[in-house]
Amino acid sequence: MKKVILASLILMFSGIFEVVKADEGMWLPMFIKRLNYVDMQKEGLQLTAEEIYSINNASLKDAIVHFDGGCTAEVISSQGLLLTNHHCGYSAIANHSTKEHDYLTDGFWAYNKSEELANDGMTVSFLDHMADVTDKVNEAINPEMTAAERKQAIQTITGQISAEASEEGKYKARVSSFFNGNEFYLFVYKIYTDIRLVGAPPSSIGKYGGDTDNWMWPRHTGDFSMFRIYANKENQPATYSEGNVPYKADYHLPVSIKGVEDGDFAMIMGYPGSTDRYLSSWGVQQKIGVEYPAFVASRDLKLKVMKKYMDADATVRIDYSPRYAQTANYWKNRDGMIKALTKNKTVAKKEKIESDLGKWIAENPERKKEYGNIFDIYKKYYETTNSTIAGDQYLMEAGLMGSNFGIFNFRLSQKMDAIIKAEDEETSKKALEETNAYVDEFFHGISLPLEQELTSKMWAFYYKNAPIEQQPEEFVAVVKEYNNDFDALSKAIFETSIITNSEKLKSVLANLKDESTADTLKNDVGVKTYYSFIAKYFADMYSNPEKVALKDELDGAKKLFVKALRESNPDKSYYPDANSTMRLTYGQVMSYEPKDGVEFKFYTTLKGVMQKEDPTNPEFVVAPKLKELYESKDYGQYANADGTMSVGFLTNNDITGGNSGSPVINGKGELIGAAFDGNWEAMSGDIEFSKELQRTISVDVRYILFIIDKYAGATNLIDEMTIVK
| Catalytic machinery residues | 87, 223, 660
Angle at 674 between CA 668 and CA 677, to 5 degrees: 130
Indicate the residue type of 584: L
| d(C-alpha 685, C-alpha 687), whole Å | 5
3-state helix, strand, coil in the chain (%, to 5): 50, 15, 35
CB 303 within 8 A of CB 324: yes
Q: What is the DSSP string of 72-129?
A: EEEE-BTT-EEEE-TTTSHHHHHHT--SSS-HHHH-EE-SSGGG-EE-TT--EEEEEE
Q: Which residues pair with 688 in a beta bridge?
A: none
What are phi and psi for residue 229, nearest 5 degrees? -85, 135
CA dihedral 643, 646, 652, 653 (to 10 degrees): 130
Q: 683: which DSSP letter?
A: G
22-60 in b/e burial notation, b at 16+ Cβ within 10 A? bbbbbbbbbbbeebbbeebeebbbebebebbbbeeeebb
Cis peptide before 218 (omega within 30 of 0): yes
HSE (side-chain half, CA atoms, 13 Å) at 610: 15
HSE (side-chain half, CA atoms, 13 Å) at 38: 2
For residue 523, what is the enclosing H or E element? helix 515-523
| d(C-alpha 625, C-alpha 715), whole Å | 17
| Strand ranges, E, within 609-700 | 646-651, 663-665, 671-678, 696-700
CB 276 within 8 A of CB 322: no
Q: Could you report how far apart the first and last alpha carbons of the chain are, in Å? A: 58
User: Comparing C-alpha atoms, which of 184, 207, 209, 70 is closest to residue 130?
Assistant: 184
Angstrom CA distances, 655 to 122, 265, 453, 634, stand at 24, 16, 37, 34
Q: 395: which DSSP letter?
A: I
| d(C-alpha 176, C-alpha 185), whole Å | 6
Q: Is 119 exposed, middle or buried (0-12, 13-18, 19+ CB in 10 A)?
A: buried
| d(C-alpha 294, C-alpha 265), whole Å | 40
| d(C-alpha 685, C-alpha 695), whole Å | 10
Q: Is 600 exposed, middle or buried (0-12, 13-18, 19+ CB in 10 A)?
A: middle
Indicate the residue type of 188: V
User: Comparing C-alpha atoms, which of 454, 459, 542, 466 is closest to residue 290?
Assistant: 466
